[in-house]
Amino acid sequence: MATSLLNKSRILYKGDMIAAWFYVFTGLVLATFAGILHYFTRIGDFRYLVIGLVMFAAYSIGKGIFMYFVSYSRYRFYHDRDTMSDKEIEDEIQYTSYRIEKKNNNRRRFIYTIVISTLLAFAGIFTRQKALLTGTAIPVALISGIEFGIGLLTEFRLREYYRILNKNKDGRQGNDMI
């Protein structure tokens, strides 16, 4: 049972490392689009869009690298173990609970950000400040949508992992009494 739980922990953090690489890939794609817009368009309206894409590319790459190192350190911790103690299981339950709560709060924020920035981008088409409004609102909506999607996928994995952790904790307590 403990080996199964260790395998689940390893799988979860390996999935987090894959999500981190997706953030890095997304950042590189955003930077590529910014470079293409900067070098191949002569219209000044794309200047704000390029700035927004570059900023979110840096954010996405930075977040991906940070996520990778955090996930990799936790993965290595569980990879080098043969069993999980009750304290480690309890710590993992608390950490997973914290992550799930954080995902819940961020989900609401991302939905509001997507809706507001999409409306601003659409409204910006009909104003004189078209370049400023659409150039800033489009990258915000794009990165919020990506964060929302990855957050949902991660939350589904975290909820299942949390359920398994609690089931294992309850199973151990029941076995200790026998």
- 3-class SS at 44? coil
The single residue listed with the structure tokens 């964060």 is 147
Residue 14 reports pLDDT greater than 80: yes
What is the model's pLDDT at position 176? 41
Looking at the chain, how many residues does it have?
178
Mean pLDDT across 10-16: 93
Between 168 and 45, the higher pLDDT residue? 168
Which of 37-41, 42-46, 110-114, 172-176 shows the lowest mean pLDDT across its residues? 172-176
Taking 70 as the threshold, does the pLDDT of residue 35 lie above it? yes
Cβ contacts of residue 1 below 8 Å, gap of 6+? 168, 171, 172
Q: Which pLDDT score is estimated for 6?
A: 87
pLDDT at 169 over 50: yes
For 39-81, what is each residue's pLDDT tens digit?
Answer: 888 766 678 888 889 999 999 999 999 999 999 999 999 888 8
Tell me what pLDDT residue 178 has: 34
Please state the pTM of the whole predicted model.
Answer: 0.84
174 pLDDT band, cuts 50/70/90, is: very low
CB-side neighbour CA atoms (13 Å) of 118: 10
Cβ atoms of 151 and 99 within 8 Å: the answer is no
What's the average model confidence in pLDDT over 79-99?
89
Q: Could you give the maximum distance between any two Cα atoms of the chain, in Å? A: 76
| Predicted pLDDT at 3 | 66
pLDDT in tens, 115-157: 999 999 999 888 888 888 888 898 999 999 999 999 999 999 9
